């Protein structure tokens, strides 16, 4: 079991260390590592973890890591995966906090951060595209997705958007044929 816990920790450490931009930017790597490489969850399960992770307090990547780890080895697995995904961030943040103040005024550092932000936008867009392709199966799914996007765009909490879409999914799923 220690070998499996180490594998969970190491996989999520890699995810945490190799992705920048927060939880949404981690989605493609989470999918590859969890679904494709290790088969710790199915595509549908990982999408459910993302959805639940978005609705619950905390960071989506940490929540998803906890769900995956728990599925594999209960509490010990949840702890291993969670520690794995947060460890790189803790180390990097401490180092950056110690050094950043000295370098933030340098032009090439500012340009590097601008480039990183653009790349993160592309990673997030890629995740959105994958999620949309695999989940928008009917016209009303598309309508719900568009409505949720607009609602969140105007500043309403994503929690409300997800809750209302869940209710509408139940109601429309029973009444509207695909």
Exposed/middle/buried for residue 75 (C-beta within 10 Å: 0-12, 13-18, 19+) = exposed
Mean pLDDT of 53-70: 88
Q: Name the band, by pLDDT with cuts 50, 70 and 90, for residue 177.
A: low
Q: Name the band, by pLDDT with cuts 50, 70 and 90, for residue 135.
A: confident
Mean pLDDT of 157-168: 91
On the question of pLDDT at 53 being above 70, the answer is yes
> CA 105 from chain center: how many Å?
31
73-107 tens-digit pLDDT: 999 999 999 999 999 989 988 888 888 778 888 89
pTM: 0.63
| Average pLDDT of the residues of the chain | 89
Calculate helix-pair angle for 60-103, 43-55, nearest 10 degrees. Answer: 60
């Amino acid at each position: 079991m220690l070998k499996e816990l180490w594998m969970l920790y190491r996989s999520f450490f890699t995810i945490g260390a190799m992705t920048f931009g927060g939880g949404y930017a981690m989605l493609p790597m989470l999918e590859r590592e969890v679904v494709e490489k290790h088969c710790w969850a199915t595509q549908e399960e990982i999408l459910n973890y993302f959805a639940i992770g978005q609705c619950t307090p905390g960071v989506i990547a940490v929540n998803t890591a906890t769900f995956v780890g728990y599925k594999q080895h209960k509490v010990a697995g949840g702890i291993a995966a969670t520690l794995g995904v947060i460890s790189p961030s803790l180390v990097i943040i401490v180092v950056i906090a110690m050094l950043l103040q000295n370098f933030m005024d340098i032009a090439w550092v500012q340009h590097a951060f601008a480039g990183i932000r653009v790349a993160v936008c592309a990673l997030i867009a890629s995740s959105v595209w994958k999620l949309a392709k695999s989940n928008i199966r009917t016209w009303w799914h598309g309508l719900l997705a568009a409505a949720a996007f607009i609602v969140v765009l105007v500043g309403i909490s994503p929690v409300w958007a997800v809750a209302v879409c869940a209710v509408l999914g139940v109601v429309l799923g029973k009444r509207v044929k695909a």
